[in-house]
Structure 1
Amino acid sequence: GFTILLRGETLTEITRIQYVETSLAKSEKFLFENGKITFFKDGSLKGRAELTKKQKIAFSKIVKLINMDHLSTLAIPSKKFMFDGSAFGELKIVSAKKISSTPLFDVDNPPEEILELVRYLKNLAKGELT
Structure 2
Amino acid sequence: MKTITMILLTIFLGKSCTNEAQNDLTNTTIQYTANTRGFYQKIVVINQKATIFNDRSEGALPVEVKISDADWKEMVSAFAKINLEDIPKLKDPTQKRFYDGAAIANFKIRYQDNNYETTDFDHGFPPKEIEKLVNKIVALAKEKEE
* TM-score where L is the length of structure 2: 0.73
Any conservation in 1 of the 2:21–2:76 contact (CA below 8 Å)?
no
Greater RCO (Cα-Cα under 8 Å, separation 6 or more) = 1
Over the aligned positions, Cα root-mean-square deviation in angstroms equals 2.3
SS in 2 for 1:110: coil
Q: Which residue of 1 aligns with 2:42?
A: 29
2:30 is aligned with 1:20: no
Alpha-carbon separation, structure 2, partners of 1:12 and 1:34:
10
**C-alpha contact 1:48 1:129 (8 A) present in aligned 2:** no
For residues 119 and 136 of structure 2, the distance between their equivalents in structure 1, rounded to whole angstroms, comes to 19
In the aligned structure 1, how far is the partner of 2:94 from the partner of 2:31? Answer: 21
**2:132 partner letter:** E
**Which stretches in structure 2 are left out of the alignment for 5+ residues?**
1-18
Q: Which of residues 64, 69, 72 in structure 2 aligns to 1:53?
A: 69
Greater C-alpha radius of gyration: 2
- TM-score (structure 1 length as normaliser): 0.81
Identity of aligned residues (%): 25
Write the distance in 2 (CA, Å) between the matches of 1:12 and 1:66.
12
Which consecutive unaligned segments of at least 5 residues does structure 1 have?
A: none
More helix by share: 2
Whether 1:65 and 2:78 are equivalent positions in the alignment is no
Check conservation: 1:29, 1:41, Cα contact below 8 A. yes
